[in-house]
A and B are shown apart, each in its own frame.
Chain A
Amino acid sequence: GEDVEQSLFLSVREGDSSVINCTYTDSSSTYLYWYKQEPGAGLQLLTYIFSNMDMKQDQRLTVLLNKKDKHLSLRIADTQTGDSAIYFCADAFSGNTPLVFGKGTRLSVIA
């Protein structure tokens, strides 16, 4: 079945850039998402990208999509301690369809 894979842990120093990677298997995915989850909280939609795009920038966040390799990445510039959280990659075939999530990457920011 459909699968989304992420590395489980990432540790960076405050002020550095973080890059979180994700691969997916469903070539028909139309929407790809990044969500942030802080301890004990729900998921916050950070950003998303359509499959006909290869890059999207939103303030400190840059999403890169390599559709050929089915690879998605999230770059956080000038990482802050408040960015420490679990980041989930997800994909969907179309609007109003269920999301398929990776297991999440736990980002730790060292001051």
Chain B
Amino acid sequence: NAGVMQNPRHLVRRRGQEARLRCSPMKGHSHVYWYRQLPEEGLKFMVYLQKENIIDESGMPKERFSAEFPKEGPSILRIQQVVRGDSAAYFCASSPKGRADYEQYFGPGTRLTVT
């Protein structure tokens, strides 16, 4: 059973460009979470999605950031018009539906650098 997959692992964008980060949850997992880790900090929750639904986006900046988890394909975190402050590691986690729904497993992360 493959773990949570994220790509790309490293992404470099110039200020003003768009960044698209992808996350494929573990097989059988229907819940996806995105977290951001700034240098020397813990992870901060951004958004929680199920297939075709945003459940909780309370941690997502109001401007420039969006997320989706379509019926088919990976979850996408999209950052428009990136700024230097968006440079961080972005982690995706997934959890199953049902009895073990409290187990969140993390992907390797995408390290975004904005130049």
Contacts and interface: CB of A to CB of B under 8 A. Distances in A.
A30 B102 CA distance: 10
Interface stretch (A12-20, A58-66, A70-78, A99-107): A99-107
Interface residues of B, number: 28
Nearest to A35: B106
Contacts of A92: 102
B42 A102 contact: yes
A42 B106 contact: yes
A33 B48 CA distance: 18
Interface of A: 4, 30-31, 33, 35, 41-45, 48, 88, 90, 92, 94-104
Interface of B: 4, 6, 31, 33, 35, 40-45, 48, 56, 59, 91, 93, 95, 97, 100-109
26 contacts: A30-B102, A31-B102, A33-B104, A41-B109, A42-B108, A43-B91, A43-B93, A45-B103, A45-B104, A45-B106, A48-B103, A95-B102, A96-B31, A96-B97, A96-B101, A98-B33, A98-B59, A99-B33, A99-B35, A99-B93, A99-B104, A101-B42, A101-B44, A103-B40, A103-B41, A103-B42
